[in-house]
Chain A
Amino acid sequence: MGIVARGVGKKIGNPEVRILSDISLEIRSGEFVALTGRSGSGKSTLLYILSTLDFASEGDVEIDRRNVAEMSAQETSVLRNQKIGFVFQFHYLLAELTALENVLMPARKIGKTEELTGYARELLQSFGLEGKEDRLPRQLSGGEQQRLAIARALLMKPRYLFADEPTGSLDSINSEIVMKIIRDSNQKFGTTVIMVTHDLGFARWADRRIHLVDGRIAPVPPTG
């Protein structure tokens, strides 16, 4: 079990621009991996390819030994809903829904809203959002919004949590809180975490770092 990439490349645009070249890696189940690199190095693109939100121009990606390219739209949808959680740099919450309703959105897709309401409340409570279930996202602070987004990503107890610079828009205190939640989900529940970050301090919280330079995997620089 885990994620395997073999010779993954990515080209976009017209004229084509190569973003990734010959990426091969393996992320084992339960690992906490940080993807690092400069802006434009291709780390976010790699994250989206590994998480099925984007597709590779070359090579294969396997999740739990299933080739992602061979999955139907329905299978990909089920995979995203039940095995994968996403946390973006910007919280991406649905502005019209309350905190609790936002967290329950993945459950709504499979008609398990009532079944998972209790667990959603537990998550909100453990993330310091108790009593704020009925608030709209705009009535929460930036840190609270990001914690809410993580709660939503963890509702279905996913096997994989993909995070794209989850602390990028937060102050240091909130960044610390968010990182602790992510690390806890890895350590307590065995969630495999793949996180893109610019922050080398937080990158060290990971079990392993994959460093990208110009779309290729490079050795982790000794200074970082």
Chain B
Amino acid sequence: MLLQLLPQSIVFGILVGALYGLAAVGLSLVFGVTKFLNVAHGELLMLGGYATFWLFQLLKFDPFLSLPLSILFLLVIGVVLYQLVFVRMVKLPEEAKVKNTMLVGFGLSLILQNIALRLWTADDRGVTTAYSRIAYTVLDTRFPLIRVVSLVISLVALLALHQFLKRTYAGKAIRATVEDWEAASLMGIDVHRIYLLSFLIGAALAGVAGSLVSVGYSIAPGMGLEWTLKSLIVMVLGGLGSFVGTFVGGIVLGLTESLAGLAISGSYREVVGLALFILVLIFRPQGLFGAKER
């Protein structure tokens, strides 16, 4: 029985892991460039999810086709949060910056979560389209269409980010800022604009991840903390600075949770992921795939 379920668990693990990876890449990019530890990242995901949900519910927009609108919404939220709050912490020394952005992030998550609760109630919501129940069966293993499409979209988003960072001037400026912001600013890069740009890319990625969650799974105002934790876990698992590593870290977490659900019980999936995280923090703080610290 267990063996029969194994391939299915692996498939589901990879499918959900891609979303963990996508969420974590956004958090990791923002942290890598700005040293902002935005723990309201999960709330940004939540907002993206609700954007897709309401566009579908009220205007009958297809959840995948409405992704650009969800991204646009998160860009607006991102600009507001950055200009109103985060810009005031840009000049702090690194350690204070990490700590203060984390504290402020908790305040923001409290605000966003409760606004969502007031506006949209505590109910679990999800987008159910005409094609939501379609699933392909290969070798007794189910591949739900929407989750497979979500995986493809995650990969496309990751590839686009990769190309952006590699090929464009702004992307190179971001990478230079990650390496050494002082040197970058001496070379004529406007570091403040790079910070804003990275923050917005992070918000947009959170939006995409949230939209995909609302299609394949469910969303609720209180989902933020769980997703922030997952993103943090994956960020550390993957090691800072490598987005491919981060994405693979997401898949590792998804697989771990899924297999733990199979081996122990579904209610402990989250615990196993967190325990894995603490072990990695203690024994390999540079991440599973990160290089050893110089």
Q: Does B bind A?
A: no
